[in-house]
Chain A
Amino acid sequence: MTDKLNIQLGYPPMSEHREGLTTESHDWTMIQAGTLVKGQEVITIDGMLPVEEACEILIKHNISSAPVYDPAPSETTTIDHPKSYIGMFDYADLISYLLIVLRKEVPPEDETTLEIKELVKRALNGEQVPVKLASDLSRKNPFCSVLPEATLVSILDEFACATHRVAVMQSNGNIMGILSQSRVIDHLYKNIRHFPDLHPLVNKSLRQLGLGEAPVVSVDADAIVLDALSLMNKHGVSSLAVIGPNNSLVGNVSMTDVKHIVKTQQKLLWATCFQFLSAIRINQGVVDGQDRHPVFEVKLDTSLLMTMGKLVATKAHRLWVTDEAEAVIGLVSLTDILRAISQSTVNQ
């Protein structure tokens, strides 16, 4: 039955999660946040740790973000955050921090909070910076929480606005887990046969859904990594296309790649983007015992289902959209997909 479904959807028979032969219909909109994060080991970061140590925690646990708590809450802690969680520290924040330290690229005056002013002062003085000052430096990943009973359809609104993850928090302030965009797409994709409501949508192509065609922020393969990070920070994007000769897409530099910079004591910051990509790929292939394709891409005529599948399989947060000549014409991100799914509920 699964095979027929997938062939009908224009996709080779899918094999993950074959729970018997039943294909019960479930209402995906009513899935609760708590069920999607069950059994997760929650990693949180003490706000007083220096930024470098906070980074090591992310690397060690192979996560890209973690909630930061203030061990000694004071009057200056804002009260709209539950309990003592004061933000999420992620690689975007780290990039902003590096740019301040290395290039004095300070956020504009009107966007600067007290925390950022304090951070800048310490960083420029060569002092250690506690991560609690850096946790919302990039202004891209605020601490958002939802109750375990919150339904997926309500969380989708948040995700559709480019929030990448929310903390699933019980009313006593205890974090059950972090629910990310990736986790939601993973669940919907692997259980798609239980969600017939979504079939008409996921069977459509990116072109039909108006996805995938948009100007992308790109960087030349010869540009140095520090310039690329600056560009990412300036445009507020989490990935840049790296363009080689003949306008070809040779790879991408993502926010999470900055972990390789930390691991190598920042030597890679002054490498070219191409050298950076090469170094990462060469190392990753040895660690995994198998090499990956330099670019993860789809076409405008690829179905939404196939696109979701590729994101789940590669664990990427976006796929590049290329034309017949392999030139990049756009990208499709987790946010784009969740927005499309969210909008489809409005249209019903």
Chain B
Amino acid sequence: MGSSDLDRQIEQLRQCEIITENEVKILCQKAREILAEESNVQKIDAPVTICGDIHGQFYDLKELFKVGGECPDTNYLFMGDFVDRGFYSVETFLLLLALKVRYPDRITLIRGNHESRQITQVYGFYDECLRKYGSVNVWRYCCEVFDHLALSAIIDNKIFCVHGGLSPSVNTIDQIRTIDRKVEVPHDGAMCDLLWSDPDDIEGWGLSPRGAGYLFGGDVVQSFLHNNDLNLIARAHQLVMEGYKLLFNDTIVTVWSAPNYCYRCGNVAAILELNDKLESNYKIFEAAVGVDSRGAGVRKRAPDYFL
């Protein structure tokens, strides 16, 4: 697959048009090759813009690129949960993947708890693949890519980025490097915790109401930062009405990048821009207006029952 072919696919995906099943197969193969070389804790150099959950909200992803700058002009880190719930999980994930293959050093994708076979069957990505392609092959190819995604990232050795949070089984960054990540997200253990845990107003650790991962307090964050010589943990995984939320004396931040989540929550979204001095600037953005809502009619949306 030549560069021009990939460029053409990127342009197509930018118009929210899907590429063929065979093109997806090849794209996923290339992506796996690139991702396989990445570490469980992928090193990134600032400047970089950090983004949270997207959840298939394609037109809001376009808003994000308008606000943060197009890739590759801006370096990006996406902290997982690219798929499920939104109407355009397929187009969203394939665009990000195509950008990754085209500009591997300008965009980093790490795994969220939704990048999982079990979760995508319940929350919509599987159904969307089946509906848009008439077969489950595209879903299978994407799940194989999910297995190869890095678990976390570290920016200039100072800012640790992970989708969910911390694990009682992990005290150091080096311990994360020893995990065998190229598997379906387990139901428990360190890899599961990194993708499922949440910070909470407690001391120490607690069991999570989600049924996977843990709750962890400010003291745990403090220890982790100290033991690993870090300044900040950036994570996503929880809806934030204001787009981003700093906790525990600004030692951890939740960044949420899906505005008007599920097309009904009315929240704003945020991205975190870090310059080369690691100074942070949060940019807020709202849902795209006047969007082509053809997705709404076509999809037999279970949530309609509750509206």
Contacts and interface: CB of A to CB of B under 8 A. Distances in A.
Contact of A286 (B205, B214, B265): B265
A309 B206 CA distance: 9
Interface string B55-72: 000000000000000000
B85 A282 contact: yes
A282 B196 CA distance: 17
A294 B168 contact: no
Interface in A272-296: 275, 277-279, 281-283, 285-286, 289-296
Contacts of A313: 206-209, 211
Interface string B124-159: 100000000000000000000000000000000000
A83 B262 CA distance: 49
A122 to B, nearest CB: 28
Contact of A281 (B122, B187, B208, B209): B122
Interface residues of B, number: 38
Interface string B198-235: 10001111111111101001000000000000000000
B305 A12 contact: no
A12 B261 contact: no
Given A267-B305, A268-B305, A292 B210 contact: yes
B175 to A, nearest CB: 15
Contacts of B302: 275, 278-279, 282
B211 A13 contact: no
A251 interface: yes
B303 A292 contact: no
Interface stretch (B113-121, B281-289, B290-298): B113-121
Contacts of B208: 313
A245 B282 CA distance: 44
A329 to B, nearest CB: 14
Contacts of B261: 286, 289
A3 B210 CA distance: 23
A293 B305 CA distance: 22
A310 B123 contact: no
Nearest to B262: A286
A339 to B, nearest CB: 22
A1 to B, nearest CB: 13
A268 B204 CA distance: 41
B135 to A, nearest CB: 16
A277 B209 contact: no
A14 interface: yes
A316 B217 CA distance: 23
A15 B204 contact: yes
A282 B303 contact: yes
B204 A292 contact: no
Contact of B205 (A15, A289, A310): A15
Interface string B33-47: 000000000000000
Contact of B209 (A250, A292, A326): A292
B238 A290 contact: yes
B239 A15 contact: no
Contacts of A104: none
A8 interface: no
Contacts of A12: 168, 204-205, 214
Nearest to B219: A15
Interface string A241-276: 000100000110000000010011001100000010
Nearest to B186: A326
A297 interface: yes
Contact of A16 (B114, B124, B202): B202
A290 B205 contact: no
Given A289-B239, A290-B239, A291-B113, A297 B207 contact: no
Nearest to A265: B305
Contacts of A289: 238-240, 261, 265
Contacts of A295: 187, 211
A293 B212 contact: yes
Given A290-B237, A293-B211, A297-B187, A251 B306 contact: no
A18 interface: yes
Contact of A314 (B123, B196, B209): B209
A117 interface: no
A310 B211 CA distance: 7
A315 interface: yes
Contact of B118 (A16, A294, A309): A294
B264 interface: yes
Given A13-B205, A286-B264, 15 more contacts: A15-B204, A15-B217, A244-B121, A275-B302, A279-B302, A279-B306, A282-B123, A293-B212, A294-B122, A309-B207, A310-B211, A313-B207, A313-B208, A315-B209, A326-B187
3 tightest A-B CB contacts, nearest first: A289-B239, A279-B302, A313-B207
30 contacts: A12-B205, A14-B206, A15-B204, A15-B206, A15-B217, A16-B202, A244-B121, A250-B122, A251-B122, A260-B306, A268-B305, A279-B303, A282-B85, A282-B123, A285-B85, A286-B262, A286-B264, A286-B265, A290-B210, A290-B237, A290-B238, A290-B239, A292-B211, A293-B196, A295-B211, A306-B207, A314-B210, A315-B209, A322-B187, A326-B187
